[in-house]
């Protein structure tokens, strides 16, 4: 059930809860105010008691003139003064404060008379009775003011109760309006959030449709998920190699991280999401079965890239803030959108690879060589760095086929391909251009370096053991350098081809360097059928 369908029930519950909370607050406040008012009324009565206790204490002292008999008076005076300070602090209006000040003034008048009587050191019944009558007047005034003060407190309590009820009604109305406003905001924000989400997914789908290859598509998926999940999330797209025996990172992780170490020699079964065909999550605690790829990466979640019944890889989200676990929709929807496109690009890449790869030696074919030569020529021209081309042809290959059969010839071609790739740098390119002919592109390599590489390759081919009696494998080489022997790719192939045939004519199993091209008709290259076969 969607959130929008549950929203009305949620808002009704929120409104009901708001009303109940408001009523509880109102009645709580009413009880608090009522308790405070009763406490103030009780304090006013204790003021009267303290005042009368002072009078009793003075009478007791004047009866005996013993200092210890004055203690009740002193204690009652302290209570009276403390209560008066407390009530002045709690006075809510100027009217009640003025009434308290009049109370204190009446008490002060009495206390002045009492202090004068206490200073008298002789007992005189007549004077005692006169002073008693004199002190009765301020006490009567005090009682009258106290009665007025208590009436003010009662009226104040009634006003507070009425005001609190009005505030309660206003608060209930405000809560209702607030919940309604929140409902509108939530609905609008939910709609806006949904629109933003749909726009982001549509933008992602359009970008994926325009991806040119698997690497670009993997990077788009990574950037989209990291943007949706927040800066702390790190996304890695894991892909199965075409043979399905290895797992590689389509978006390589940072070097030195646990994930980089886990993916170094990983196989598909090492990833639990691929093995189980279902989402896999891990937290900080040690799991019962650890993932061989992301087991040491901390909190993470991984989902398989499913296409039909096949799994072409997985998407790993290292997520310390737990956003991916909360926003499963973002991850699952994005993977559902991306998986078919990734599968299509993978199929296209395999088809292109097969179209440009020699099936026997697994080296690039003549078409791939032509593309690479054009690309490397442009790079060499921009960087003003040398580009060397080495053409080679297996010696007496027809004799090998005629004598030992085509299986032996195929073994020889495969062995030469392995010898070439085993001796070259990663930046170099070896290709089979047709038949027994091969080519090697050496970027950023001058003439002397190219000759040394050709000699190294010649030795590697001569060292191949085909286990055939009275037959050793050799090859002839022609070397040319762009800018030195030719100015463009086509001319470079021609002069290298001439050098190759010069090596054939000079006795085979040797390296020859091209000469500067001569004007005249185009000479056949090893990319074309030779005019005169040389065995």
For residue 346, which of 220, 235, 253, 216 has the smallest C-alpha distance?
216
Residue 73 vs residue 62, higher pLDDT: 73
- The owner of tokens 């076969």 is 533
Q: Which residues contact 64 (CB under 8 A, 6 or more apart)?
A: none
CA–CA gap between residue 386 and residue 379 (Å, rounded): 10
At 532 the pLDDT is 33
More confident of the two residues 40 and 518? 40
Q: At which residue do the structure tokens 């709580």 appear?
A: 28
CA distance linking residue 154 with residue 95, whole number of Å:
13
> Among residues of the chain, what percentage have pLDDT more than 90?
23
* Whole-number pLDDT of residue 340: 79
The mean pLDDT of the chain is 80
pLDDT tens per residue, range 300-328: 788 888 776 678 788 888 876 665 555 67
Report the C-alpha gap between 203 and 423 in whole angstroms.
46
Q: Read off the pLDDT of residues 458-497 as tens digits, 9 standing for 90 and up.
A: 999 999 988 887 778 999 999 999 999 999 999 999 999 9
**CA-closest candidate to residue 157, choices 45, 42, 23, 41:** 41
Asked if 80 contacts 107 with a C-beta cutoff of 8 angstroms, the reply is yes
Span 431-453, average pLDDT: 94
- At residue 478, the 3 state secondary structure works out as strand
Q: Sorting pLDDT into bands at 50, 70 and 90, what band is 390?
A: very high
Domains and CATH numbers, the chain: 3-181 (1.20.120.1730), 215-355 (3.30.450.40), 366-513 (3.30.70.270)
Asked whether the whole model's pTM tops 0.85, one would answer: no
pLDDT bucket at 518, cuts 50 / 70 / 90: very low
Written as one string, the DSSP assignment of 198-250 is HHHHHHHHHHHHT--SHHHHHHHHHHHHHHHH-TT-EEEEEEE-TTSS-EEES
Residues in the chain: 535
Residues 511/480, Cβ–Cβ less than 8 Å: no
The whole-number pLDDT of residue 153 equals: 84
Contact 232, 321 (CB under 8 A): yes
| Locus of tokens 């929203």 | 7
Query: 119: which 2 tokens?
Result: 């200073």
CB 442 within 8 A of CB 453: yes
Tally of CB atoms within 10 A around 167: 16
Helix ranges (DSSP H) in 356-488: 366-383, 397-404, 406-423, 447-462
Residue 228's Cα: distance from chain center in Å? 8
pLDDT greater at residue 463 or residue 252: 463
354 pLDDT band, cuts 50/70/90, is low
Helix, strand, coil in percent for the chain, rounding step 5 = 65, 10, 25
**Mean pLDDT: which of 178-182, 187-191, 248-252, 531-535 is highest?**
248-252
Rounded Cα gap, residues 44 and 267, in angstroms: 88
Name the nearest CA neighbour of 140 among 103, 112, 97: 103
Counting other chains too, the contacts that 165-170 makes at CB distance below 8 Å and 24 or more residues apart are 165/26, 165/30, 167/26, 168/22, 168/23, 168/26
Residue 15 is encoded by which pair of tokens? 């409104």
Q: How many CB atoms lie within 10 A of CB 48?
A: 17
Spatial separation of the C-alpha atoms in residues 145 and 39, rounded to whole Å: 19
Tens-digit pLDDT profile for residues 409-420: 999 999 999 999
The mean-pLDDT minimum among 86-95, 173-182, 361-370 falls in 173-182
Which of 82, 87, 115 is closest to 101 using CA atoms? 87
- pLDDT tens-digit profile of 121-157? 555 666 667 777 788 888 888 888 888 888 888 888 8
Tokens of 524: 């056949």
């Amino acid at each position: 059930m969607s959130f929008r369908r549950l929203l009305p029930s949620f808002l009704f519950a929120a409104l009901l809860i708001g009303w109940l909370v408001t009523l509880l607050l109102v009645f709580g406040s009413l009880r608090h105010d009522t308790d405070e008012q009763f406490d103030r009324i009780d304090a006013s009565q204790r003021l009267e008691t303290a005042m009368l206790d002072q009078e009793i204490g003075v009478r007791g002292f004047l009866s005996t003139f013993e200092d210890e008999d004055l203690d009740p008076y002193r204690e009652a005076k302290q209570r009276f003064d403390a209560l008066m300070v407390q009530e002045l602090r709690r006075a809510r209006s100027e009217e009640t404060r003025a009434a308290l000040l009049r109370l204190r003034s009446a008490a002060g008048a009495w206390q002045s008379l009492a202090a004068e009587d206490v200073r008298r050191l002789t007992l005189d019944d007549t004077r005692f009775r006169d002073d008693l009558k004199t002190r009765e007047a301020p006490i009567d005034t005090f009682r009258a003011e106290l009665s007025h003060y208590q009436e003010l407190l009662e009226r104040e309590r009634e006003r507070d109760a009425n005001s609190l009820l009005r505030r309660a009604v206003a608060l209930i109305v405000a809560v209702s309006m607030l919940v309604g406003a929140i409902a509108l905001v939530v609905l609008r924000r939910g709609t806006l959030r949904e629109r933003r989400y749909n726009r982001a997914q549509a933008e992602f789908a359009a970008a994926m449709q325009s991806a040119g290859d698997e690497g670009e598509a993997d990077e788009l998926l990574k950037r989209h998920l990291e943007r949706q999940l927040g800066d702390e999330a790190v996304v890695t797209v894991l892909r199965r190699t075409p043979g399905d025996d290895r797992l590689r990172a389509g978006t390589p992780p940072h070097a030195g991280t646990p994930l980089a170490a886990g993916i170094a020699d990983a196989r598909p079964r090492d990833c639990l999401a691929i093995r189980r065909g279902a989402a896999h999550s891990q937290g900080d605690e040690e799991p019962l079965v650890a993932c061989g790829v992301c087991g040491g990466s901390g909190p993470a979640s991984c989902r398989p890239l499913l296409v039909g019944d096949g799994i072409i890889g997985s998407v790993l989200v290292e997520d310390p803030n737990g956003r991916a676990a909360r926003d499963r929709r973002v991850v699952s929807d994005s993977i559902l959108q991306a998986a078919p496109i990734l599968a299509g690009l993978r199929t296209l890449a395999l088809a292109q690879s097969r179209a440009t790869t020699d099936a026997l030696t697994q080296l690039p074919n003549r078409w791939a060589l032509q593309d690479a030569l054009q690309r490397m020529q442009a790079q060499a021209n921009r960087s003003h760095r040398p580009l060397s081309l080495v053409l080679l042809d297996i010696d007496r290959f027809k004799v090998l086929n005629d004598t030992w059969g085509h299986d032996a010839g195929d073994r020889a071609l495969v062995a030469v391909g392995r010898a070439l790739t085993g001796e070259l740098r990663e930046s170099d390119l070896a290709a089979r251009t047709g038949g027994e002919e091969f080519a090697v592109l050496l970027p950023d390599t001058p003439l002397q370096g190219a000759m040394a590489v050709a000699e190294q390759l010649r030795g590697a081919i001569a060292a191949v053991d085909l286990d055939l009696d009275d037959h050793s494998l050799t090859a002839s080489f022609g070397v040319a350098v762009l800018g030195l022997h030719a100015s463009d790719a086509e001319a470079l192939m021609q002069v290298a081809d001439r050098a190759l045939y010069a090596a054939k004519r000079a006795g085979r199993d040797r390296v020859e360097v091209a000469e500067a091209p001569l004007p005249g008709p185009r000479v056949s290259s090893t990319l074309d059928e030779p005019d005169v076969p040389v065995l």
